[in-house]
Every structure is written in structure tokens, then in C-alpha cells.
Structure 1
Amino acid sequence: MSRVCARVLVVDDDETVRDVVGRYLGAAGHRVALAADGPGALRAARTTPPDVVVLDLMLPGLGGLEVCRALRADGDLPPIVMLTALGEEDDRLLGLELGADDYVTKPFSPRELVLRVGSILRRTGTASAGAGPVLVDGGLRVDPAARSAVLDGHQLALTAREFDLLAFLLAHPGQAFTREELLARVWGWEFGDRSTVTVHVRRLREKVETDPTAPRRIATIWGTGYRYDRES
């Protein structure tokens, strides 16, 4: 199976981490740009928009969360894999709220990081072509191959993981999934923080529900997880 290669921006103030991650990603066939701080990351992203950003949250000066906010404010937010320390759970959840797609906890295996980047690219890049039929529910239309989601004629601004989650749930209407199952089926994780799913569901509801506090499409099944209920 051919690899999906892409432009990857690696942002970390630790030179050793930048070098090791850059070499592993380069060996996987990706074109890698490196940045040591927040301002450098924004300059690099705005000069040559990356396909994926590997972003350390603990940056000096302009931190990773501020970089995430700035990239989001620019418009199209590229998929972001956050690098976090074990004690940064609150920052990790905030990063997910701001639109990050994935995270890897330090210390981490560079091979694992390359696999996470590859997983995102397979869902967002050329490998998504022919990913399945167009999914329609009332005014909601999701095209997995084009990675396009339209609600009542308006294009939805979804992150990579939000799109993946919506497409998966819409493709399996009426079926309840646990958070662990969604982590495995959508994220490709055999284990992970279930709050990652919770945050993405909350963000997704804000974009597809008329009233996110009383969702009609993405239902919470207490004691289980979530289920997509079709409107039509």
C-alpha cells in the first residue's frame, strides 16, 4: 500500500525533539518544516500552509494553545497533533476544544507519532478518494470522498476528526457506540483518553444541532456512548 506523503510542520522548542521527529517524518516520505517557537510556527504556516502540524503545547512566549487559536482564526485549520506532558490534561482538553485533532504524550515514540500523522493523512488526503457514498440526512449532506459537509446549504467548518466522527456516525444511524469503540473506529486508537471523544462530540453538536443543549441528531446513550438519529 502506498504511503500518503504531506507537508508537516513540527513545532517544538527542544532542538533534539525537532531533529528526531523531523528525521522520522522525513524517512516516512513527508516534507518537513521545523519551528522552534510560536511566532516561527505562524510564519511557517502562513508562508507554506502545512497538511499537518505537530505542535508542542509548552512553548516559550507564544504557547501552543495561542498558536492553535491563531491558526484557527486564519480560517482553514490544518489537522494538529499536540505534544503534551503527562500533567497537562487541562491544556490537552483545551487544545481539543480549540480544534486540535490528536495528541501524543511525552515521552513518546517517534514511530508512534509518525503513525498518528499517517492516520490523519489517510483520512484527510488522497486516500480518502472513493471513501464511500454521499451521506444525506435532511438538510445535512456529507461527502466522504470530497471531505465536504453541508448543512442547509452552508458549508460546515469541521476539523479533520470532527468530519471523520460525523461521517462515521451518519454512516451508522441508529447504532450506539461506546467511546472506546469510537476511539478505535474513528481515531484508530486501541487505547486512549475517552474525553477526546466527549470533546469532539460537544464541538460537533455546536455545528450540526439547532440546539446543542438538546441534541436531536447526536444522542447521548447514558451508560453506553453516542448514537446518530436520523431526522429523515
Structure 2
Amino acid sequence: MMGIKVLTVDSGADVRHLIETRLKKAGYAVIAAANGDDAAQLAQAEQPDVVISGVRLPGLDGLALTRRLKDQPNAPLVILLTILVDDHHIAAGFEAGADDYLTKPFSPLVLIERLRVNLIRSGLSQSIPKTDKEAADE
């Protein structure tokens, strides 16, 4: 069974590290980028299942990145993370094609659960890594 590959994009090294560490611990394969331009190139080369991206990015911003990703065949799921909590900003994220939207600061546990829910909704539930509890129950 092939695992879920996640591309995480954020201009903040601390945020990228937190997301990358938590996702790897949860069993996901993770690649990372610090800006939208690098993320677009990585997404084309690596074909991730999910992109978790900040909105305010150097170069291509998160909304433009989302639109570009969603225009591709086999588009990945996109979860946006941002400090922009205004309803208009959130709506703009969904209008760009985001599958989910979390505001910063965020709980890594909630991010992982939202990721799992979106994967289930998209039909990728068989590839979701098992939690420690699920593995122990087998």
C-alpha cells in the first residue's frame, strides 16, 4: 500500500518544522517548501496527495498556488493555514479551490484530524496511516 504524500508550504521555518515533524510522526511522507514558486515546482515533480500551505507566501501566494494546483488533472487536496481570520479571506481561500482552511495558531492534532477527514472524503481512506491506537487494536 502506498502512503500519503504531503507537501507543506510556509514561509516560517518554525511552522514548517512543526507540521513536518507531526505529520511524519503520524506516518505521512512529507516534503516541504518555503515559498509558493518552489511549492509549485515540487508539486509538479512529486505529485503530492495533499498540500498544506500558508496563504501569505513569498513569490506565488497561497491562493494563486491553490488555483494553479486545482487546475491540474489529479489535483491534490489543499488545506490552507493563515492568520487571516476575516470571513472574506476565508471565503477567498475556498473560492480558490481549498478543501479546508485553518487559522493560525492551530493545533497540530486538529490539523492531522482535518487531514484525515479530507482524505476520507476524497476516497483515500485506505492509504491513511494508522494511528498508534489503531495499530495496537489489530
TM-score band by shorter chain is: 0.7 to 0.9
Q: CA deviation at 1:15?
A: 0.2
Within a 5 Å distance, the mapping from 1:1-232 to structure 2 comes to 5-127=3-125
Q: CA deviation at 1:27?
A: 0.4
The two structures, once aligned, show a CA RMSD in angstroms of: 1.8
Contact 2:84 2:90 in 1 (8 A): no
> How far apart, CA to CA, are the structure 1 residues paired with 2:110 and 2:125?
20
Q: CA deviation at 1:70?
A: 1.2
State the structure with bigger RCO (CA 8 A, min sep 6), 1 or 2: 2
Q: CA deviation at 1:118?
A: 1.2
Aligned length: 125
Identity %: 39
Deviations 1:40-98 (A, max 9, x none): 11011000111111011111221111101111223332111110214443222112012
- Between structure 1 and structure 2, the one with the greater Rg is 1
Q: Which has the higher helix share?
A: 2
Structure 1: state its 5+ residue gaps. Answer: 129-232
Q: What's the TM-score once normalised by structure 2's chain length? A: 0.83
> How far apart, CA to CA, are the structure 2 residues paired with 1:10 and 1:94?
20
Structure 2: state its 5+ residue gaps. Answer: 127-138
> How far apart, CA to CA, are the structure 1 residues paired with 2:109 and 2:67?
28
> How far apart, CA to CA, are the structure 2 residues paired with 1:89 and 1:96?
11
Contact 1:9 1:54 in 2 (8 A): yes
Q: What's the TM-score once normalised by structure 1's chain length? A: 0.51
